[in-house]
Structure 1
Amino acid sequence: MITPRDVLTPSSLAMLQAVATTGSFAAAARASNMVPSALTYRVRIIEDALDVLLFDRSSRQARLTEAGKELLREGARLLVDIDAVANRVKRVATGWESQLTISVDSIINRVTMMELCEAFFALNPPTRLKLRDETLSGTLEALTSGQADLALGVVLDAKVTVGLQRRPLGTVGFVLAVGANHPLARASEPLSDDLIRNYRAVALADSVERGGGLTVGMLTGQDVFTVSDMAAKVDAQIRGLGVGFLPKSLAQPYIDSGKLVVKRVERADHELRFCYAWRDSGKGAQGRALQWWLEQMQSAVSRAALLDARRPVG
């Protein structure tokens, strides 16, 4: 039995369009270098497979029925899609990946990330780009589990699996910041761990899917309020819902406005080193999309901008 999938081919759609354009089976047959009877037979086969009439034959001119008009509208879109797929396949054959997934840690500046994406798309690559929002060890796990091809903002001290390459991204300094109305805002400095432990901490949820994940700046036995992203963490600390370490560049505007107060602590200065990492699939095996992103990471300006929390959105 002939099915719609059997008959709805690019050549059949082009033939139907020729009949609609010329208004005549005979004229369309001449344009298609076919005998009229063969073209008429092919149209009948298509109509039988679809179980609809595509042309009104009650007059001397072949006119499309409403079903025929809908078929040619959708057919034109399908032909455009087929051409796009063909062009895409040709470009992928030149070394571009069909898709590149990047796991992006919450420490990464989203404005800079979007600017890099904009520059990437300006190349008109055939590669589809996918960004994954991750936090702490989840950023690396997305890479090691095969769910990402490149990870930006991996904590440098984290264990890296064999088969991965990594390079330094930069160092971020953190400060202990509390809301202006929080009890610790008026406490004598430097603050001891024993004192800080008495107050709730605001922590970012690690996006790792397995295991306990990473914790940064937490004290044993301390009560914890866990939030999903850095913006929520800042808001919670401004409201006095807890205390915690924030990137200094991110906290500075709120410190300047008096919404947050920086407190010195007895511990050594809190800094984290971050890197970017990717899977090493063998020499010369990198796709052109990954190569482009790794080239951008070689720029000191790009690396610094990715870790600059001061850059606002908009």
Structure 2
Amino acid sequence: MNMPERRNVLTPEALAMVDVIARTGSFAAAARELGKVPSALTYSVRQLEEALDVLLFDRRSRQARLTAAGEELLQEGRRLLQEMDAVANRVRRVASGWETQLCIAVDAILSNLTVFELCEAFYALNPPHGPGTRLRLRSEVLAGTWEALVSGVADLAIGVSPVQTLPPGISMQPLGELDMVFVVAPHHPLAGAGEPLSDAELVHHRAVAAADSAQRLAPLTVNLLPGQDVFTVPSVGAKLEAILRGLGCGFLPESLVRGHVEVGRLVIKPVTRPRLTGRLSYAWRSAPSHAVPRGRAPLGLALSWWLEQLERPATRTALLERHIGWQPGVIG
């Protein structure tokens, strides 16, 4: 029997039959559960074995014991049945307006705690399985957040820098501002230096920088001085950890370092350069109106839900302010 013919015998009914026989332990018990006579079940199993040219059950035992080939078919069959159910559910949900997948790029400078609280609320829309849309989170830094959106990888980008001209199909709204402060560890040489600190003094001390995650766009360099030694780390959490250890100095959101400053683990040092604020926005991809089928909204229901949350001032403030999750000794 060739491959297409073998494929035809591996029906959901046949896979479910093997599962029931293995679970009940006998053909007779399986026949009762399936509402069939035992002889019909035995005949169906023999047809399946002949088509696959393998023995699925050991006939030497009174119980229906699977052979090694039968065990493989059982495990793979269960996986296939689960996948078929999942595909059917996703197709039905997509038809109702819920996206199959939603990819969200979040700048690592924002509150990780708030992001996961939003994910928790999203999945609670239809407990315990959620609305059926697969969420995919990406943690990005600086231009990498914008790149994930414009390259088509992400559907929603939270924490991008505002731009004057938006590409077609991209919408943007302001998220808020981050108050950036210059911090050092108490044992860092700059901790006891006179204030305010000038660039001429800062250039002699190593800066800690979170690496821009952009792969194609030109990476951004923020608050670094020409000729200054730089310790580059992979994330904002790693930057905080490095500064806490006195490995360098740098600018971080005041909301992120506030708790460390209050207990004396970090020191805020005024600088001569103008006070820095980081203006951030959120942006999303939507199909042009002419590309949307009649009767369908231009945005999927999952993306619409996330945008509704971001419209709330409390959500935007939490993303900028709630950095409870950052702890010394943990590289996030």
Tell me which interval the TM-score lies in, with the shorter structure as reference length.
0.7 to 0.9
Q: CA deviation at 1:217?
A: 1.3
Which of the residues 217, 220, 225 maps onto 2:223?
A: 217
1:288 aligned onto 2:288: no
TM-score by length of 1: 0.86
Relative distance call for 1:57 and 1:187 in structure 2 (3 A) is closer
1:310 aligned onto 2:312: no
1:198 aligned onto 2:204: yes
1:175 aligned onto 2:174: no
Counterpart for residue 122 of structure 2: 120
| Amino acid across the alignment from 1:245 | F
Relative distance call for 1:231 and 1:16 in structure 2 (3 A) is closer
Counterpart for residue 99 of structure 2: 97
Relative distance call for 1:73 and 1:270 in structure 2 (3 A) is closer
Q: Spell out, residue by residue over 1:94-137, the C-alpha distance to the aligned partner (whole angstroms, 9 max, x if none).
A: 11111110011011111111110011111221111000110000
Q: Spell out, residue by residue over 1:120-175, the C-alpha distance to the aligned partner (whole angstroms, 9 max, x if none).
A: 11122111100011000000000011111100111225874343111111100011
CA distance in 1 between counterparts of 2:69 and 2:207 reads 66
CA distance in 2 between counterparts of 1:219 and 1:241 reads 17
> 1:307 is paired with a residue of what secondary structure?
helix
1:298 aligned onto 2:302: no
1:228 aligned onto 2:234: yes
Sequence identity percentage: 50
Contact 1:136 1:206 in 2 (8 A): yes
Moved more, 76-85 or 270-279: 76-85
1:246 aligned onto 2:252: yes
CA distance in 2 between counterparts of 1:58 and 1:251 reads 71
CA distance in 1 between counterparts of 2:76 and 2:227 reads 63
Q: Spell out, residue by residue over 1:203-258, the C-alpha distance to the aligned partner (whole angstroms, 9 max, x if none).
A: 11000002441122112222211111122212222222222111111112222222
Relative distance call for 1:31 and 1:219 in structure 2 (3 A) is same
Runs of 4+ in structure 1 off by over 6 angstroms are 17-22
Backbone CA RMSD of aligned residues = 3.0
Contact 1:2 1:49 in 2 (8 A): no
Relative distance call for 1:301 and 1:9 in structure 2 (3 A) is same
CA distance in 2 between counterparts of 1:186 and 1:56 reads 81
Q: CA deviation at 1:5?
A: 2.3
Which stretches in structure 2 are left out of the alignment for 5+ residues?
Answer: 290-296, 328-332
Q: CA deviation at 1:84?
A: 3.1
| Amino acid across the alignment from 2:27 | G
The count of residues paired between Structure 1 and Structure 2 equals 309
Which of the residues 255, 260, 269 maps onto 1:263?
A: 269
Counterpart for residue 66 of structure 1: 67
Counterpart for residue 134 of structure 1: 140
Moved more, 86-95 or 138-147: 86-95
